[in-house]
């Protein structure tokens, strides 16, 4: 079976982790600082703060902007639940707007109608490796005095006109094993705002600048030096990983038939965290691919506002028809950099045969 994801771990990661372990510095230490510096340089952001996960990076970004009970944050329901959960953790309320059918990211034409006196931030999601329309979103946010938190957890190295995801307002990344680069578990917040980064560093470590002197109630959202050691070995390979993802995506664009392939805005560098097609009779399609030896996955089968904990909070009545429709149609196929050319050919043949069998979308 060709898997939907295959983390690439080699000798570099092994020796880097072993050095960290042998150094005796296991919790947050010099490797975390070095990883932060290198990641900030890669993204082109002034500051980077490493965290225990993408979820905690999102949570800290919102707290760093002072968001809390009574506030509202505008986001999308077509995402992993962590985006919206991080808003709930602060005591604020997510307000959902629909996505643009063309690129699966926030429909910027719906933002202004969702703004109320309680709105404090906009959280677009750069889904599948394509940045949301960050210029338009930043322009609206500036006009209304709102913070911008880009959920770039799937967009390491993605860019608009050469400007990378993670350089507008605050950006957050995940290093979960399926992501374009990994640290096992881990996350990163990037920003040009040095004061925001300072507040986030404080909150990451129990509100502590001087050992056992606590200024605010904080958290333990630290990354370990062992995780950072993996990240330091992975980061130099990220550009090549992303190039390989793009090359595979180009073959799919050219060779797939009978399915809708992704649309990429002209100014965008897409990093294809996922290559997501739209198909007819999606569940049967996935089952048939499995029989043909091709793994696939549905990101995501239920919109966030229809998930049980959100329905329990009174959500579910929102009108997000694009999200509802795409939830029924999307199917991600393998696009990870370790696929061989033969495996890519197998995926193409399996998708095309299945589309022919079940009828074109
Ligand atoms: C869009 C999105 N947001 C947030 C997260 C949360 O990241 P993590 O799993 O590292 O907490 C993920 C990762 O799964 C994600 O894909």
In this structure, what token pair is assigned to residue 235? 């980061």
Phi/psi for 253 (5° steps) reads: -55, -45
Q: How much is the pLDDT for 162?
A: 98
Q: How much is the pLDDT for 216?
A: 96
- Alpha carbon of 172 to ligand 1 centroid (Å): 9
- Alpha carbon of 54 to ligand 1 centroid (Å): 5
| Pocket perturbation via mutation, ligand 1, pick of 51, 55, 77, 152 by most ligand atoms within 8 A of CB | 55
Compute CA 275 distance to the chain's CA centroid, rounded to the nearest angstrom.
14
How far, in Å, are 20, 40, 209, 264 from residue 192 at the CA level? 29, 9, 21, 27
- Alpha carbon of 353 to ligand 1 centroid (Å): 33
The b-or-e profile of 220-232 (16+ CB within 10 A means b, else e) is ebbbbbbbbbbbb
Helices 54-64 and 82-89 cross at an angle (nearest 10°) of 40
| Pocket perturbation via mutation, ligand 1, pick of 7, 53, 54 by most ligand atoms within 8 A of CB | 54
**What span, in angstroms and rounded, lies between the C-alpha atoms of 149 and 138?**
10
Q: How much is the pLDDT for 177?
A: 98
Q: Which pLDDT tens digits describe the chain residue by residue (361 residues)?
A: 999 999 999 999 999 999 999 999 999 999 999 999 999 999 999 999 999 999 999 999 999 999 999 999 999 999 999 999 999 999 999 999 999 999 999 999 999 999 999 999 999 999 999 999 999 999 999 999 999 999 999 999 999 999 999 999 999 999 999 999 999 999 999 999 999 999 999 999 999 999 999 999 999 999 999 999 999 999 999 999 999 999 999 999 999 999 999 999 999 999 999 999 999 999 999 999 999 999 999 999 999 999 999 999 999 999 999 999 999 999 999 999 999 999 999 999 999 999 999 998 8
Q: How much is the pLDDT for 347?
A: 98
Compute CA 160 distance to the chain's CA centroid, rounded to the nearest angstrom.
16
Q: Which residues line ligand 1 (CB under 6 A)?
A: 53-55, 79-80, 82-83, 125, 151, 153-154, 174, 176, 187
Can you give the pTM of this predicted structure?
A: 0.98
Instruction: State the closest ligand 1 atom to the C-alpha of 126, by its place in the atom list counted from 1.
Output: 1
Instruction: State the closest ligand 1 atom to the C-alpha of 82, by its place in the atom list counted from 1.
Output: 4
Q: How much is the pLDDT for 270?
A: 98
**What span, in angstroms and rounded, lies between the C-alpha atoms of 351 and 295?**
11
Q: How much is the pLDDT for 160?
A: 98
- Alpha carbon of 153 to ligand 1 centroid (Å): 5
Q: How much is the pLDDT for 132?
A: 98
- Alpha carbon of 357 to ligand 1 centroid (Å): 35
Q: How much is the pLDDT for 271?
A: 98
H helix intervals, 126-281: 134-144, 194-204, 225-234, 238-255
- Burial (Cβ within 10 Å: 0-12, 13-18, ≥19) of residue 154: buried
Give the pLDDT confidence of 166-177 residue by residue, as tens digits: 999 999 999 999
């Amino acid at each position: 079976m060709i898997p939907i994801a295959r983390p690439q771990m080699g000798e570099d990661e092994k020796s880097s982790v072993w050095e960290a372990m042998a150094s005796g510095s296991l919790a947050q230490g010099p490797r975390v600082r070095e990883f932060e510096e290198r990641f900030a340089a890669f993204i082109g952001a002034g500051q980077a703060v490493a965290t225990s996960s993408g979820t905690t990076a999102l949570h800290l970004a919102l707290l760093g902007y002072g968001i809390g009970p009574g506030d509202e944050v505008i986001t999308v329901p077509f995402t992993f639940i962590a985006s919206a959960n991080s808003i709930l953790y602060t005591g604020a309320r997510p307000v959902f707007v629909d996505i643009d059918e063309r690129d699966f990211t926030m429909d910027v034409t719906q933002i202004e109608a969702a703004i109320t006196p309680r709105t404090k931030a906009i959280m677009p999601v750069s889904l599948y490796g394509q940045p949301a329309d960050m210029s338009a979103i930043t322009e609206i946010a500036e006009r209304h005095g709102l913070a911008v938190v880009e959920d770039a957890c799937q967009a390491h190295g993605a860019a608009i006109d050469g400007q990378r995801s993670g350089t507008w307002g605050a950006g957050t990344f995940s290093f979960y094993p399926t992501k374009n680069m990994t640290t096992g578990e881990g996350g990163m917040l990037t920003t040009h705002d040095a004061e925001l980064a300072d507040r986030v560093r404080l909150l990451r470590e129990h509100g502590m600048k001087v050992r056992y002197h606590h200024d605010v109630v904080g958290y333990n959202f630290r990354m370990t030096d062992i995780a950072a050691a993996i990240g330091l070995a992975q980061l130099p390979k990220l550009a090549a990983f992303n190039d390989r993802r793009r090359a595979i995506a180009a073959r799919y664009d050219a060779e797939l038939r009978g399915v809708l392939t992704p649309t990429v805005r002209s100014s965008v560098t897409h990093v294809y965290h996922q290559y997501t097609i739209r198909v007819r009779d999606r569940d049967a399609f996935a089952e048939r691919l499995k029989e043909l030896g091709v793994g696939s996955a549905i990101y995501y089968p239920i919109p966030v506002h229809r998930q049980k904990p959100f329905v329990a909070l009174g959500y579910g009545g929102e009108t997000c028809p694009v999200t509802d429709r795409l939830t029924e149609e999307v199917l991600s196929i393998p696009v990870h950099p370790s696929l061989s050319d033969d495996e890519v050919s197998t995926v193409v043949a399996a998708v095309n045969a299945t589309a022919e069998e079940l009828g074109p979308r």
